[in-house]
Structure 1
């Protein structure tokens, strides 16, 4: 019989992945990248202006600008062109370079938006206009979309299935299958609570990893509310609320009791140390131990039997974006191994690889469209920036509840 022990320790006590040096602060990285792009004779930039601009940006935005800018600077160096101020003709050449490498239209548009933000940050374009807004650049983007099409690849949805799948059309991985694949140990309880809460609230991964114990508000009927202090579309922190089902609240409560978490981040890393059972080792007489044996004293004493032990170590810091994605894919593989989904061979590998941190949010959006909800209500519920964004994830399902389907379904059977 296994002995189970649960500890809460500082994350430094958990095994750590190797990292190449200390992480550079995102502000410092962005400033270093922009400095590398500026010509030596560039006029002085307002330090206060840069400081306030950085304060207004989310860290994820600054990291994305730095990464995209690195790519542009590398292309300029290889092609012997000046990064800043960018020349519109050079931007068109850069767009064609990206297209030749197979980059999608959405990536090209994002790269131009990144360069526009970087130019504004150092005061370029305030009077003369941004090079990214030049008609030549806009035409190049439009031509790329005509050639390639504007449809974006989206994350594979993790829909609920079951009661929300009356037409029987949800194939592949579902929330119900993944919940059934979660074990009953500390890691499995955490994973089940993570999946259930992330689906009910339609959380972005940044919102999911930021969820804390004091953000939960149980309701009298067993359901709950989750406070979302800040999100991608709420950078100023006005805050919003999401509804949680009674099932989710029960799963979260079981996880909190099992882990001993009373405050702070809701979902944390779980370290697992498994030790096998060992049979008793009887003491050996001195003359029976070979002369070159190391640790011969232990053989003289012998060792008592020990039972198998599993130790779970709960960290203090929240899960990372990469950690959440790894959890989804690990559980999906477990669901496939348990026969909970009908996918095999290369299709299984592709289906697991298609899952991402956005899969729960896409799944709930599609389930709501399938249930007949309109785009405006879904956008409001899931904190989308506009109904158009929600429709992008459920355009096929939304057709079943549009005006034509509602009216004609009554007369054309």
Structure 2
């Protein structure tokens, strides 16, 4: 018997559970455990209230990053038999050289020093105590590293729109247009298309994308919409901001909401898929013909009717994770390549897919806006960048086409 039945359930408990690597430790506990293990026994105790308020002032992502960086620094100190607290300037310079020898970028070295400074303040050591990270020797070591290595940072591969915005045929590789075309019409495909379309329009960071909720959407009379962003990386105090959503993205989001049955809570969730193949009917079998040691002999005795192929989509209750979003981008990119929607193959295809990250949509929109002639200040405001310089870093080459020289000289030097 042929055919397929597609059903949907809004029941997160029915989702298959991924194997956990271990019990998840709260980020505060992890950070405090990391620091406590490295403190010397004779160090005066830090203010419990001071530590508590310092942790409350930090974002969870910041605390997780500090804990990860400290693990690296403390591991080096153990190998070199150096005290992590309080760290001396000569030890920090040696640590910086160790990191440079391992090929770490200047931005990573600067971040590690900032991490060590934050950890020292957390345990009661402040600038007045003369933090080693502020010592001229350490600053000179960072400056020398930047002179040797330069300050250009590797950026996420952009996912630009392509299509109607690619009037000069300059966009190569994966585009939003190609990825949207590769999305299917089932529950997973509708979610993926809504995720890509909304994330691109609003230039969302992955933390903003995973935090998006149904209640944050505000439809407009012309079919477009607004998305409330209660908090972001550059808005830790929660002042809030809004992003414009195109009519196309609003239609895609609505299609996903109707298909999934989601009415409130997180907008983008995990979709579990259970596929069962069609089975032909099995006629009843006489009792005397069934071997005595047969398992499930009752089923053979009764027989079984034919069953149709069935696909069950299970919609989770919690939002997608950062890793889940990245996996979705790469899965759709591979589907687009398999469908011949992009002209990439072989080793270059693997490299292009691996270069995609949760930041790719945001970088792609930034570059598209620069290519359209928008200025850095307007782009920074629209995409909630901390400064125009940050936005310019992602569109430096494209911004040249709309700078003062190109606008003035382009009219006379043709």
TM-score when normalising by structure 2: 0.98
Distance 1:148 1:178 in 2: 36
Instruction: Tell me the distance in 2 between the aligned counterparts of 1:286 and 1:15.
Output: 38
- How far does the alpha carbon of each residue in 1:139-186 deviate from its partner, in whole angstroms, 9 at most, with x for none? 111111111111110000000001111111100000000000000000
Three-state SS of the structure 2 residue aligned to 1:127 is helix
For residues 297 and 105 of structure 2, the distance between their equivalents in structure 1, rounded to whole angstroms, comes to: 66
Q: From the superposition, tell whether residues 197 and 15 of structure 1 become closer, same or farther in structure 2 (CA, over 3 Å).
A: same
Cα distance in 1, alignment partners of residues 318 and 353 from structure 2? 27
Matched, 1:48 2:55: no
Alignment of 1:67-146 (within 5 A): 67-146=68-147
Distance 1:100 1:262 in 2: 53
1:260-285 deviations in Å (ceiling 9; x for gaps) = 00000000000000000000001112
Give the SS at the match of 2:127: coil
Residues 217-259 of structure 1: per-residue CA shift (max 9 Å, x gap) = 0000000000000000000000000000000000000000000
Aligned CA RMSD, in angstroms, stands at 0.9
Residue 332 of structure 1 is matched in structure 2 by: 333
**Aligned residue number for residue 24 of structure 1:** 25
Contact 1:281-1:302 at 8 Å conserved across structures: yes
17-26 or 202-211: bigger deviation? 17-26
CA distance in 2, matches of 1:149, 1:21: 40
Give the unaligned 5+ runs of structure 2.
none
Once the two structures are TM-superposed, the CA of residue 370 in structure 1 deviates from its matched residue by: 0.2
Could you tell me whether the CA contact under 8 Å between 1:125 and 1:131 is conserved in 2? no
Which blocks of at least 5 consecutive residues in structure 1 are unaligned? none
Q: Which stretch shows the higher mean deviation, 24-33 or 347-356?
A: 24-33
Shift of 1:119: 1.1
Q: Which residue pairs with 1:343 in the alignment?
A: 344
1: CA distance between counterparts of 2:123 and 2:95?
A: 21
5 Å-filtered alignment, 1:131-170, equals 131-170=132-171
CA positional deviation for 1:31: 0.8
Equivalent in the alignment of 1:214? 215
In the alignment, structure 1 residue 196 sits paired with structure 2 residue 190: no
SS at match of 2:174: coil
- Structure 1 stretches of 4+ with a deviation exceeding 4 A read none
The number of aligned residues is 412
Q: Name the SS of the counterpart of 1:309 in structure 2.
A: strand
Partner of 2:6: 4
TM-score of the superposed pair, with normalisation by structure 1: 0.98
C-alpha distance after superposition, 1:185-217 (max 9, x if no partner) = 000000000000000000000000000000000
- State the distance in 2 between where 1:279 and 1:40 align: 73
Deviation at 1:292, TM superposition (A): 3.4
Q: Structure 1: how far apart are the matches of 2:71 and 2:14? A: 35
Q: Residue 130 of structure 1: CA displacement?
A: 1.8
- Structure 1 window deviating more from structure 2 (104-113 vs 287-296): it is 287-296
